[in-house]
Amino acid sequence: MRVVLVGFGVVGQSFARILLSRAADLYTQHGIKPRIVACVDQGGSAISPAGLDLQRLLKAKKKGSVGFYESDARQDPLQVIENVDAEVVIECTPTNLTTGEPGTSHIIAAMRKGRHVITVNKGPLALSFPSLIELANYNGVMFRFSGTVGGGTPILEFAKRCLKGDSIISFQGILNGTTNYILSKMEEGLSYESALQDAKEKGYAEANPALDIDGYDAAAKLVIMANWIMGMKVTMKNVDRTGISAVKASDVKKALQRGNAIKLIASCDSKHLQVRPTEVSKKDPICVNGTLNAVTFSSEHSGHQTIIGRGAGGIETASAVLRDLIEIRDTVFER
């Protein structure tokens, strides 16, 4: 299977390393031999119809760009998507929740060329989910994005497959590890400001952490889940969103005295989408600490089912990309 990889940051490089370490068992267990025939980042591109040397590609990136793989490779992503023959495009550029670009343009170009698409980029899905699904169906291609929610934890697959015979009525959970870490530290006695600074020092929060603490990241994931799992047609503007910046240490302390914890909860009941700090019982399965994510699905016949796991990380998210690639291979190439 020939793959074009757009974006070669933490997730893209982790994906390359997984392919290097698992090449033999991927073929033995799944009958799949992925070949990255092109890779492109902001600095340039690397192209080889026979498949790129991944060790060499990783070394080139250490110099600043995959463009150093070959001295004359300077095509931009859209050119590579248009011109390089491949079955799958993996889109790993950074999330932009304002415009969805450049990821949205990459995905649309790939679908129009008849390529199957895998993305870990939440922006296009949060802003244009219904139209992208429609475009994928129109062009007869698969569109997979399990790494956008829960990192390596198969939250989307759990709801879509394990609960396939049931009807999910609602779900709620913790979808952002950074805010969960901050609130967990506040339970230990830190102020909001000190907990945020600790999260930055640990690498859990960015220098500008607005995407996390203002609830945008959780809202984006909520939109993806509502569309994919509940069959809704919603975007970011449909989410009632409140972040955690107004949560005080005294609020956390009072909640603890009641046997509760304050968590940033994202919820969907088929009509309303909401992200807000909420008191949750310490006995509730979704009341996890640190950077963990947890989601409880309420279904018509099975009752409540909770899935818990790490919600971020390069290697974890790259494993979700590989999971999607195997699904595409099993679905399309076994026909």
**Separation between Cα atoms, residue 152 and residue 130, nearest integer Å:** 24
Amino acid at 275: V
The owner of tokens 């390393």 is 17
Q: Looking at the DSSP assignment, which residues form a beta bridge with residue 268?
A: 171, 273
3-state class (DSSP) for residue 75: coil
Of the listed 221, 233, 271, 282, which one is catalytic? 221
> Please, is 61 exposed, middle or buried when counting C-beta atoms within 10 Å of its C-beta (0-12, 13-18, 19+)?
buried
Clarify whether 202 is annotated catalytic: no
Cβ atoms of residues 45 and 38 within 8 Å? yes
Cβ atoms of residues 52 and 59 within 8 Å? no
Tokens matching residue 244: 């955690």
> Phi/psi at 116 (nearest 5 deg)?
-70, 150
Cβ atoms of residues 121 and 146 within 8 Å? no
Integer CA distances (angstroms), 253 to 31, 115, 184, 276, in order = 54, 52, 12, 18
Cβ atoms of residues 121 and 91 within 8 Å? yes
**Separation between Cα atoms, residue 225 and residue 163, nearest integer Å:** 14
Count of CB atoms situated within 10 Å of the CB of 272: 12
Catalytically active residues, by annotation: 221
